[in-house]
Amino acid sequence: MSARLTGAKRVIVKIGSALLVDQETGALRRPWLEALADDIIAMRGRGQDVVIVSSGAIALGRHMIALGSGLLKLEEHQAAAAIGQVALAHAYSEVLAARGCVGAQVLLTLTDTEQRRRYLNARGTLAALLKRGAIPVINENDTVATSEIRYGDNDRLAARVSSMLGADCLVLLSDVDGLYTAAPETDPGAELLPEVTSITPQIEAMAGKPGSAFGSGGMVTKIEAARIAVGAGAHMVIASGRIDHPLHALENGANCTWFTASATPVAARKKWIAGTLEPCGALTVDDGAAKALQSGKSLLPAGITGVIGTFGRGDAVRVVDTSGTELGRGLCAYDCADAQRIIGHKSREIEQILGYRGRDEMIHRDDLVLVKG
């Protein structure tokens, strides 16, 4: 199953605070981070896109302003994050630079993955970073996130990022090496599950309850993360980061629990487009474009003859032929007003007409689902 990691095109690696920050001294565990960076560079060397989701800002920051180990008030929490995040980003930047790579800090808030417009912007930025060979290092923007509007934990954040970027593998590095049938600390019969193919109530029960001794390792949020990631077509793995070179160990078959996705990220995305989204409008296409779509091409502005309805950028629209028959559905890269202005034109004219350089395609083929038959 380790081929799921070595063979993935795009991998999200989530790193928990307990791995990065020494619990006693509150200091960054630098040698561990150096070793992790080696693993990540090796993955990049194989041509894989790697995105890091890292916790640790609050754990580092609270030590730097001597906030002690007790419960923090919201504003103390946010202050600790503001201080710790600088140190965290600096550490990543240094270890990556020492290996010839550029790190990029990206701080997300809940709305960045839940609101279509912000989602598209965040996705665009991350795609641009990856295209240029940078390694995004993502955390929640804890200094502005209040309890009502936060992911709350980076397991869920990492799963949202995985789905947003169409990643095919999500690795949660944690202080446990996977999901056990019972609490391993207290039950000698507890067994590690190597693979979970379906998240049943029984599996949920194994994760324990939030706040229980067994659940305090965060297994509940990991199962929620698995549901999101697997639903978006990524295999997810929970593995121990307690050792140096944890990704290398995982590639070589270390203990872990895999949550298996049944579809690819593109297939999962297409199912979501075809089945879940309500179309807000339609684009009429000429016969040439209709033929191009059937042969797997994207929909370009040049082949569109009409724009119907009111829709925003990233909204779902129907694609219809000149007789009004639905050919498919997809996510439109322009809002209806801009779409109206560029239809019938060559993609290279878009910038001149709109005053900005958008996508060449009105609907990219990865965002397009054709009606079968």
Q: How far apart are CA 67 and CA 79, in angstroms?
A: 10
Query: What angle is formed at CA 360 by the lines to CA 359 and CA 366, rounded to 5 degrees?
Result: 75
Task: Choose between 225 and 342: whose C-beta lies nearer to ligand GLU.
Answer: 225
In this structure, is the dihedral angle defined by the CA atoms of residues 236, 241, 242 and 243, taken in order, positive or negative?
positive
Q: How many residues bind ligand GLU (CB under 6 A)?
A: 12
According to DSSP, residue 72 is labeled P
Using rule CB under 6 A, residue 241 touches ligand GLU: no
Using rule CB under 6 A, residue 140 touches ligand GLU: yes
Residue 139 near residue 88 (C-beta atoms within 8 A) = yes
Helix axes 154-164, 116-131, angle to 10 degrees: 80
In the complex, least distance from residue 321 CB atom to ligand GLU, rounded to whole angstroms: 49
In the complex, least distance from residue 302 CB atom to ligand GLU, rounded to whole angstroms: 45
Interacting stretch for ligand GLU, rule CB under 6 A, among 50-58, 110-118, 124-132, 275-283? 50-58
Q: How far apart are CA 144 and CA 155, in angstroms?
A: 19
Site for ligand GLU in 71-90 (CB under 6 A): 81
In the complex, least distance from residue 232 CB atom to ligand GLU, rounded to whole angstroms: 19
Using rule CB under 6 A, residue 109 touches ligand GLU: no
Q: Side by side, which strands form the sheet with 316-320?
A: 304-309, 281-285, 316-320, 326-331, 368-370
Q: Amino acid identity, residue 354?
A: L
Selected from 142, 168, 315, 361, the binder of ligand GLU by CB under 6 A is: 142
Q: How far is CA 54 from CA 18, 21, 347, in A?
A: 11, 11, 39
Using rule CB under 6 A, residue 59 touches ligand GLU: yes
With CA atoms as reference, report the closest residue to 256 among 178, 315, 202, 328. 178
Using rule CB under 6 A, residue 55 touches ligand GLU: yes
Interacting stretch for ligand GLU, rule CB under 6 A, among 24-32, 53-61, 295-303, 358-366? 53-61
Selected from 5, 28, 53, 57, the binder of ligand GLU by CB under 6 A is: 57
Using rule CB under 6 A, residue 154 touches ligand GLU: yes
Selected from 4, 8, 12, 56, the binder of ligand GLU by CB under 6 A is: 56
Q: Under the rule (CB under 6 A), what is the footprint of ligand GLU?
A: 17, 55-59, 81, 139-140, 142, 153-154
